């Protein structure tokens, strides 16, 4: 049945079919029509379109990492809010591209860097070294082959120690 009944109570009248109005459910009708694409086909098409822009996106990721590196090297005491904003924006760009193309090794340190900057902005005592450690980790992870799982894990564990030190995460249970 392609139509649903919506009861419209008429002031004081008993609810009967005569007091009902029929509402057309357009989405239901469209979904019941033959044709269209399956979810698998739609995902395959999306992957193909992403593949066409992959190199451009990775070039953008590299430019974001370069801007982040330059900004982190110029941080002073106290750090420039503009440089902090540049690092944060660059990390967000890395998160976006890393997520699209499955670079979890870059996604995690970039998220950690944004979280650390948020905490610094909320009053945690500033640490240029902590920022530079994250930037160095991102540079290292970008240069690693996806297959080098042991090195990726080693860097990730070292970053987690920084996060524990600054209270971003709890220490692992012993």
The whole-angstrom separation of Cα 137 and Cα 160 is 12
Question: CB–CB of 93/61 below 8 Å?
Answer: yes
Residues composing the chain: 174
Q: How confident is the model at residue 157 (pLDDT cuts 50, 70, 90)?
A: very high
Phi, psi of 76 (to 5 degrees): -115, -165
On whether both 105 and 155 belong to a single domain, the answer is yes
The whole-angstrom separation of Cα 151 and Cα 145 is 9
Contacts of residues 53-60 at CB distance under 8 Å and 24 or more positions apart, as own/partner, are: 54/101, 57/97, 57/100, 57/101, 58/97, 58/101, 60/93, 60/97
Q: What is the pLDDT of residue 73?
A: 95
pLDDT of 7 above 60: no
Instruction: Indicate whether 119 belongs to any domain.
Output: yes
Q: Which of 90-99, 108-117, 136-145 has the lowest mean pLDDT?
A: 136-145
Instruction: Indicate whether 131 belongs to any domain.
Output: yes
Q: Which of 8-12, 76-80, 118-122 has the lowest mean pLDDT?
A: 8-12
Instruction: Indicate whether 40 belongs to any domain.
Output: no
Q: What is the pLDDT of residue 16?
A: 55
Residue 78: is the preceding peptide bond cis (ω within 30°)?
Answer: yes
Paired sense of beta strands 20-24 and 3-7, if any = antiparallel
Q: What angle do CA 83, 156, 55 make, to 5 degrees?
A: 65
On whether both 150 and 111 belong to a single domain, the answer is yes
On whether both 27 and 57 belong to a single domain, the answer is no
On whether both 69 and 131 belong to a single domain, the answer is yes
**H or E stretch at 7:** strand 3-7
On whether both 147 and 115 belong to a single domain, the answer is yes
On whether both 77 and 142 belong to a single domain, the answer is yes
CATH number at residue 144: 1.20.120.160
On whether both 28 and 112 belong to a single domain, the answer is no
The whole-angstrom separation of Cα 124 and Cα 139 is 25
Q: What share of the chain is helix, strand, coil (3-state, %, to 5)?
A: 65, 5, 25
pLDDT digits (tens, 9 = 90+) for 107-135: 999 999 999 999 999 999 999 999 999 99
On whether both 20 and 90 belong to a single domain, the answer is no
Residue 60's nearest CA partner among 93, 95, 100 is 93
Boundaries of domain holding 153:
53-165
Instruction: Indicate whether 48 belongs to any domain.
Output: no
Question: How many domains is the chain built from?
Answer: 2
On whether both 158 and 75 belong to a single domain, the answer is yes
pLDDT digits (tens, 9 = 90+) for 16-55: 566 677 778 887 777 777 777 777 887 888 888 888 999 9
């Amino acid at each position: 049945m392609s139509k649903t009944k919506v009861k419209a109570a008429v002031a004081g009248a008993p609810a009967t079919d005569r007091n009902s109005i029929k509402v057309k459910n357009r989405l239901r009708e469209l979904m019941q029509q033959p044709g269209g694409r399956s979810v698998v086909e739609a995902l395959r098409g999306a992957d193909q379109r992403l593949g066409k822009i992959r190199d451009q996106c990775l070039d953008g990721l590299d430019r974001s990492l370069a801007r982040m590196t330059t900004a982190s090297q110029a941080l002073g005491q106290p750090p420039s809010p503009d440089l902090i904003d540049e690092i944060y924006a660059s990390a967000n760009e890395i998160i976006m591209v890393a997520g699209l193309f499955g670079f979890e090794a870059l996604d995690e340190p970039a998220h950690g860097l944004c979280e650390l900057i948020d905490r610094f902005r909320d009053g945690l005592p500033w640490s240029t070294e902590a920022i530079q450690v994250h930037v160095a980790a991102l540079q290292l992870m970008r240069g690693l082959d996806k297959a080098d799982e042991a090195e990726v894990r080693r860097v990730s564990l070292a970053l987690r120690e920084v996060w524990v030190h600054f209270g971003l995460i709890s220490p692992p249970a012993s």
